[in-house]
Amino acid sequence: MKIKPLRYLLASALSVMAVAAVTSCKDDMSDTLRSEAKIEPYNFTVTGVGVNPDKAAPVFRTNFSAGGDTIYIRVPENYDVKGELNGALPNFYLSMGATVTPPMTEAQDFSDPEHPVEYTVTSADGSATRKFYVTYMLVPQIPIAYGEGFTEGEKIAVKTYVELGFPGSYGSWAGDNLNPNQGDLMGFPAFCGNEHLVVFSRRFAWGDDGSSGAGAVTANPAHAFKVFDIATLAPAGSLNLGGISPADVVAVASDWSGNMVAAVGRKASGKTDFYYWTSPTASPVLLGTADVSVDISAHAADASPYINIAGDVTGSAVIAASAPRDADGSHYKFTFAGGKMVPGYDVIKSGHSSLDKNGYQMISFFGPEANAPYLVGDTQDNPGEDNGQIQIYLNNPDGTNRGTMDYHCSDVNGWVMDSNKGDVWWSRSGKWLSRDGARRPTVHALVLNGKSYSYWTTGTDWGSRGVLMDQDLTSGVDLQEIGGLKNPYPGWCYGRDTGAKRDSGDEGIYVTSSFGAIADWFFDDETSIGYLALWTDRFGVVLFRITCYEL
């Protein structure tokens, strides 16, 4: 037999000893792990209930306390904590071979911080137990990507003009004419900074002798401008007008950043000064003067003059404003750069007559760029005829059409008119023989979180409406019928049907005849939150909050 050299025998012996040592270490490690009772501090997640039927149930991550025995579910501030965490399912890992009571397969209510969910972990060898407590912590909201638009539009406040402090007795009605005691008709909402909403009343600013059939109203500067807190619509002081007389203000609106802008200068002046405010208490800043008047009204305080702003007036912006009504549908376009008005102006021709029906037309640009498309709100056909119609157009910069929302016809773009709810010809025709601007279709081009939307409003014979749509005015595939209308964005279609001749409008609120409606909005890119205010004549304000966070 051949004898191996000594070095091979030594190597073999050392190898056997090493294997024995490793085996011994593994046994010791296994014994240690089998005696541990813990929830591992990684990959602990909780799947929410999924209260939003259009979204997958959210999955929340967690943080462990310094001692490791308290686990906090990280819930963004914009989530419904009670809705998502009452019945949520956890997913976590235990130390090797350990068991837990209650089992992780059971849904739990994690929404009560006073009573955290208690888990008892028992080690694999039964030698140790440890308790863990699971509750939640609120964390900042998570914005969705730029360009994806908004995720939620929530109606947060509704107040009548009487509740807002305007004179009158809400709900009064006298035949087919406005009871002068009923109060303000035309209100122009405008955001002023990121905390305040201002409402400008042209009737109380100018006074109205009632010759148009609206009822006489005496000019009262105290009711010309009212300032409200955005969150509650509670009164919030007064507007610093500087040296501006309310009687000279034609219209107000806010830019996309929440700076309030006013067009100042009645028709007799032959010019228009544009001012802006960063907050109600700030002094008005002059942007510039145009050598044309945007006050074109036939009556003392009708709804024809308007302004609408795209962009930020402290940087780059354009203002669209009323021009004298003509067969071409002409409108003024003023340009602003670096907080100043660029000399001169353009005349935009919509291609649709603004002389027909109620003599009203409005445009709104989707941006300050020269190639930005714009919306047109128009009433058509001859004054006094019953076959008139309201239409909303999306135009290219050269005036050619790229989309139409026909509000008059049945089942156009998925919209259905219900004659049983007051949606007969007067709901969409703009007909009112004695008053220009009645039932006006206002349009508002919204750019929210980098995505463009079309918002339009109109008065009906017994109510008013405001509806949000995609930019191209198609209804999309996600339809929800609200008040006889199909709306691509549930919750944004706001309609009040038959107030004076039926018992109540929606939500049980008594609503009298509507002359029209108008809106204003702004969006804060830093917080990904915006607001939209809908003023409905002879009613008051409906306020929406816009959020662009993951749901």
DSSP string, 46-84: EE-----TTSPPPEE-EEE-TTSSEEEEEEETTS-HHHH
State the pLDDT at residue 182: 47
Mean pLDDT by 10 residues, the chain (551 residues): 40 46 51 84 92 81 93 91 96 95 96 96 95 95 89 81 77 41 70 96 82 73 95 95 95 97 90 97 98 78 82 98 93 97 96 83 96 92 60 92 66 40 44 62 93 82 69 55 44 43 33 70 92 84 86 65
Locate tokens 């149930």: which residue? Answer: 57
State the pLDDT at residue 202: 86
Three-state secondary structure along 116-130? Answer: CEEEEEECCCCCCEE
State the pLDDT at residue 32: 67
Locate tokens 């409108």: which residue? Answer: 331
Q: What are phi and psi of 268, to 5 degrees?
A: -60, -25
Q: What are phi and psi of 192, to 5 degrees?
A: -135, 95
Q: Which residues contact 259 (CB under 8 A, 6 or more apart)?
A: 192, 193, 276, 277, 278, 312, 313, 314
Nearest to 133 by CA among 159, 113, 105, 161: 113
Locate tokens 């050299």: which residue? Answer: 5
State the pLDDT at residue 508: 33
> E-strand spans in 357-498?
361-365, 374-380, 389-395, 401-406, 442-448, 451-459, 464-470, 480-482, 485-487, 494-495
| Contact assessment for residue 331 and residue 323, using Cβ atoms and an 8 Å cutoff | yes
Q: How many Å apart are CA 254 and CA 312, to the nearest integer? A: 9
SS3 assignment, position 43? coil
State the pLDDT at residue 424: 41
CA angle 208, 213, 214 (to 5 degrees): 50
**Cis before 343? omega within 30:** no
Nearest to 439 by CA among 362, 506, 368: 362
Nearest to 341 by CA among 264, 426, 228: 264
- All domains of the chain in start order, with CATH: 45-139 (2.60.40.2340), 152-547 (2.120.10.30)
Distances (CA, A) of 30 to 1, 129, 151: 43, 17, 50
Q: How many Å apart are CA 540 and CA 159, to the nearest integer? A: 6
Structure tokens at 147: 């360009």
State the pLDDT at residue 11: 44
Distances (CA, A) of 307 to 66, 76, 295, 509, 518: 57, 38, 10, 31, 11
State the pLDDT at residue 212: 62
| Contact assessment for residue 448 and residue 549, using Cβ atoms and an 8 Å cutoff | no
| Contact assessment for residue 234 and residue 242, using Cβ atoms and an 8 Å cutoff | no
| Contact assessment for residue 526 and residue 149, using Cβ atoms and an 8 Å cutoff | no
Which residues make beta-bridge pairs with 330? 349
Structure tokens at 462: 């017994």
